[in-house]
Amino acid sequence: MAVLTELPVRRLDRVDRRLVPLWLAMLAASLPMFMATLDNLVMTSALPVISVDLHASIGQLQWFVNAYTLCFATLMLSASTLGDRFGRRRMFLAGIALFTVASIGSALSTTPAMLIAARAFQGVGAAAVMPLSLALLAGAVPEAKRALAIGVWGGVAGLGVALGPVVGGAVVDGVSWQAIFWLNVPVAVVAIPLVLFALRESYGRPVPLDVAGVLLAGGAVFASVWGIVHGNDDGWTSTNVGGSLIAAGVLFAAFIVREQRTNHPVLPLRLFRSRSFSIANVIGLAFSLGMFGAVFLLSQYLQIAMGYTPLQAGIRTLPWTAAPMVVAPIAGVLAPRVGLRSLLVSGLTLQALALGWMALIVVPGVSYAEVVPAFIMAGVGMGLTFAPSATAVLADMPDADHATASSANSTLREIGVSMGVATLTAVFLGFGGTLTPAGYVDGLRPALLAGVAAVAVAAIAALFMPSIREKS
């Protein structure tokens, strides 16, 4: 380590990666990713406060979350392609910088439109951070230690999920909702020099960016979420909603045709020849749709229906959201020994049962203690899913495809988050749910059952996962 610290930063790329301690490479790759995952849920505890302060409607509350996740989802493949061509570490650092500037813009927002726009730019920055963090980490550690490293990476992702509602609640109670975005600035100040020091530059296949593919995919995702978000307000048979959903289908079909015919697709369809990769993506989409849509509604339920402050509500989500931080690294260690299929089936089944349990017991007057066992079950299930699904994505991929494969999976998971928030909120509103103590449960129970259905699809898909055992 003494030798390493004496070397100029600009020469680090020439240093044998084995000289960089494993823990330092994992920290450098995971800290920016933690910042990006934290902001997926950091707003959930603050939404009731922001709603009052900015006079935001429930539709605008959804867009505070979805503006981030949509840009995050639709641009990850582009960022991966640019990283392969111009340098993964270079794009990683650019993503961190943009994310930080957009965080400052979010903190300074004074209207819902300003906050939605700033959150969209945050998503653009996060799109370069999330997939490239896994690709850089996979290239920084020996293959024999890759499953462990991915397990830790999954644990850090779980930590971001866990601390999002808590950090958001603590900051809102202690300072203001704007401070949840100012927190990203010191994290970036630490992360940027750490990345320069501990991660070497790497490249993939230097192919041109498929701009048409990016626009078609982004348009399809945006149109589908737009239609779902406006379904209850405008009517599901309205021209606005029906046209949006039809447009989404047409754009998606055009995207598939484009990717089949172009020489440089943004999403190479050949990746889906891998059964492990294909099933991992079905799992990522369905699991994210069910679970994160439920988290979005339940975080507000703790405040609106149970009467907790933002901090109290955030702390009370920890039995659920903190469990992956502990379980995901363990799952990463177990994956080479027991195989991916058994871990994924177990984890997803636990999550579906947990959401079903919550739907049964969430009635007016239910105590927090009654929902804790279901929270714990859901958290353990998430922990058993994170690392094995990330391992499955890269299991059959050559190193040159790591960034593209990772970004494809991350894209589908973030699409799942957006679709989950939109879909479960649509079910919530469709069954008469309102943001009041008396009216929240009416819509929450059917929304949770919709989440059960989505996670059950993921569990069924996991039954077809090859029982991969990595080399130890």
Q: Which of 265, 294, 309 is the last residue of a domain?
A: 265
Domain match, 173 and 322 both = yes
Domain count along the chain: 2
My answer on whether 243 and 283 are in the same domain is: no
**How confident is the model at residue 5, as a pLDDT?**
33
Residues 147 and 282 in one domain: yes
pLDDT in the model for residue 144? 67
Does 13 reside within a domain? yes
Specify whether 249 is located in the same domain as 274: no
Whether residue 220 is found in the same domain as residue 368:
no
Q: Is 441 exposed, middle or buried (0-12, 13-18, 19+ CB in 10 A)?
A: middle
Domain-terminating residue out of 242, 265, 288: 265
Q: Are residues 162 and 318 in contact, defined by beta-carbon separation less than 8 angstroms?
A: yes
Structure tokens given for 299: 């975080």
pLDDT (tens, 9 = 90+) of the chain, 472 residues, equals: 333 333 333 333 444 444 456 777 778 888 888 888 777 767 777 777 888 888 887 778 878 887 887 788 778 778 877 887 888 899 999 999 999 999 999 999 999 999 999 999 998 998 888 778 877 877 777 766 766 777 677 667 666 666 676 777 777 776 788 888 888 899 899 989 988 888 888 877 777 778 888 889 888 888 887 787 777 677 777 888 889 889 989 999 999 999 888 888 878 888 888 899 999 999 999 998 998 888 888 877 888 888 888 778 878 888 887 777 788 778 877 877 888 899 999 999 999 999 999 999 888 778 889 999 999 999 899 889 877 887 888 787 877 777 678 777 877 887 887 788 888 988 998 888 887 887 888 899 999 999 999 999 999 999 999 875 544 3
**152 and 185 co-located in one domain:** yes
Q: Using N-to-C axis directions, what is the helix angle for 440-462 and 275-304, rounded to 10°?
A: 160
Cα–Cα distance, 461 to 455 (Å, whole number): 10
Within a domain: 123: yes
Domain contains 471: no
Contact between 163 and 325 (Cβ < 8 Å): no
Taking the model in full, what pTM does it have?
0.73
Give the tokens for residue 149. Answer: 């490293």
Residue 304 lies in a domain: yes
Q: Count how many residues are written for the chain.
A: 472
Q: How many CB atoms lie within 10 A of CB 113?
A: 12
Whether 470 is covered by a domain: the verdict is: no
Q: Based on the fold, state whether residues 317 and 382 are members of the same structural domain.
A: yes
Q: Are residues 63 and 132 in the same domain?
A: yes
- Distance, C-alpha 309 to centroid of its chain: 25
CATH of residue 271's domain is: 1.20.1250.20
pLDDT of residue 159: 66
Residue 28 sits in the same domain as residue 60: yes
One domain, residues 191 and 155: yes
Is 288 a member of any domain?
Answer: yes
Task: Say yes or no: 328 and 379 in one domain.
Answer: yes
Q: How far is CA 336 from the centre of its chain?
A: 24
Together in a domain, 88 and 8: yes
How far from 223 is each of 75, 82, 381, CA to CA, in Å?
15, 25, 31
Distance linking the first and last C-alpha atoms of the chain? 26
Where does a domain end: 227, 247, 265? Answer: 265
In a domain? residue 467:
no
Angle at 32 between CA 12 and CA 420, to 5 degrees: 145
C-alpha–C-alpha distance, residues 355 and 447, integer Å: 10
Vertex 38, ends 36 and 39: CA angle to 5°?
Answer: 70
Alpha-carbon gap, residue 353 to 375, rounded angstroms: 11
To which residue do tokens 């507000």 refer?
Answer: 300
Question: Which candidate, 172, 451, 173, 165, places its Cα nearest to that of 318?
Answer: 165
User: With helix as H, strand as E and coil as C, how does the chain read?
Assistant: CHHHHCCCHHHHHHCCHHHCCHHHHHHHHHHHHHHHHHHHHCCCCCHHHHHHHHCCCHHHHHHHHHHHHHHHHHHHHHHHHHHHHHCHHHHHHHHHHHHHHHHHHHHCCCCHHHHHHHHHHHHHHHHHHHHHHHHHHHHHCCHHHHHHHHHHHHHHHHHHHHHHHHHHHHHHHHCCCCHHHHCHHHHHHHHHHHHHHHCCCCCCCCCCCCHHHHHHHHHHHHHHHHHHHCHHHHCCCCHHHHHHHHHHHHHHHHHHHHHHHCCCCCCCHHHHHCHHHHHHHHHHHHHHHHHHHHHHHHHHHHHHCCCCCHHHHHHHCHHHHCHHHHHHHHHHHHHHHHCHHHHHHHHHHHHHHHHHHHHHHCCCCCCHHHHHHHHHHHHHHHHHHHHHHHHHHHCCCCHHHHHHHHHHHHHHHHHHHHHHHHHHHHHHHHCCCCCCCCCHHHHHHHHHHHHHHHHHHHHHHHCCCCCCCCCC
* Residues 6+ away with beta carbon under 8 Å from 186: none
Burial class (CB in 10 A: 0-12, 13-18, 19+), 90: middle
Q: What are the CA-CA distances from residue 367 to residues 31, 109, 302 (Å)?
A: 36, 36, 10
Full domain range(s) for residue 245: 210-265
Give the Cβ contact number of residue 111 at 10 Å.
12
The Cα–Cα gap between 297 and 294 comes to: 5
Q: Is residue 468 part of a domain?
A: no
Neighbours of 214 (CB within 10 A): 18
